[in-house]
Amino acid sequence: MHQDDDDKTTVKPLAELVADAAESQTAYLIVLSGKAVGKMFRVKPGEMLIGRSSACDIFLEDDGVSRKHAQLVCGPEGAVVLRDMGSTNGTWVEGERVAAKELRDGDRLQIGSATILKYGYQDSVEEKFVSQLYESATQDGLTGIYNKRFFLDRLDQEFAWHQRHDYPLTLILFDIDHFKKVNDTYGHQPGDYVLARLARIAGIQCREEDILARYGGEEFAVILRQTTTREGTILAERIRRAVESTQFEYEKDGEVMNMPITISLGVASLEGDMLESSHLVESADHYLYQSKEKGRNRVSSAELDLL
């Protein structure tokens, strides 16, 4: 039986199907190992700097990464070239140290001594899935800030780095005064509202490079990189005042509950006799307990002990 040309099904060649698929996807760098493991960086047209400087487009804080370590150049035809920027520890692609190299889908990049990234294409569904995996692994579901697991991993890394380079590292621990009474009096939903809003208030006071995390229950922690005890004490007091001056209001069944909330804080810094990051936590917890013993709604630290 004869078929007219108009009835024939058009089948695209394989090369065209691959090209169409590539056009519907976007290039990303995914961190496979390092402090930001699981994080995705979208590759944009033009030039993107990779490094430890906060001004870089792809910001990697890991030890061994230079401030301006490497550069991605995405050309108009979609080709992406990775260039080393004279880094100390080098830029590597698939185990080979490179000065400049065009990247292929699936290439593994090593930036510095420890950070490994994978270059590849993701569609919008894959991007969302990977982003959600990263968030669920690192973020607290209620408050949206970092969770305890991320905090402990990051504290270990920061402790080792600051100890090795002899830079000041400070930790703030704080929790809500009489939080059990808040839950018993107003209920758990208003209590969750207090936790979430408190995290936002503390986040506003912190610097971009500070690590704010929910340490557990009503307890929070802030890692302050290259920060002295005095500077950490000033920030802790700023957080305390911001919380004290905030009206925590929760509406339920047409009734507005006004909940007075205060926090107690302990501040500690890295000292020469500390061998593990847990010793820094113990020191900050000691000063937090001191704040509670002195009547709560206050900051305690070695800096204030000298006054």
Active site residues: 218
Residue type, 185: T
Q: Where are the beta strands (DSSP E) in 232-293?
A: 248-252, 255-259, 263-269
Can you read off the two tokens belonging to residue 124? 């919008």
Q: Which residues of 245-280 are buried (b: 16+ CB within 10 A; e: fewer)?
A: eeebebeeeeeeeebebebbbbbbbbeeebeebeeb
- How far apart, in Å, are the Cα atoms of 172 and each of 217, 256, 289? 16, 32, 12
Name the one residue in this structure whose structure tokens are 């001594």: 113
Q: What share of the chain is helix, strand, coil (3-state, %, to 5)?
A: 35, 30, 35
Cα 117 to Cα 58: distance, rounded to the nearest angstrom: 11
Cβ-based neighbours of 39, under 8 Å, separated by 6 or more: 30, 31, 134
- How far apart, in Å, are the Cα atoms of 279 and each of 97, 212, 226, 236, 283? 39, 19, 18, 20, 6
Nearest one of 71, 76, 74, 80 to 99, comparing CA atoms: 71
Cα 237 to Cα 258: distance, rounded to the nearest angstrom: 23
**Contact 118/107 with Cβ under 8 angstroms?**
yes
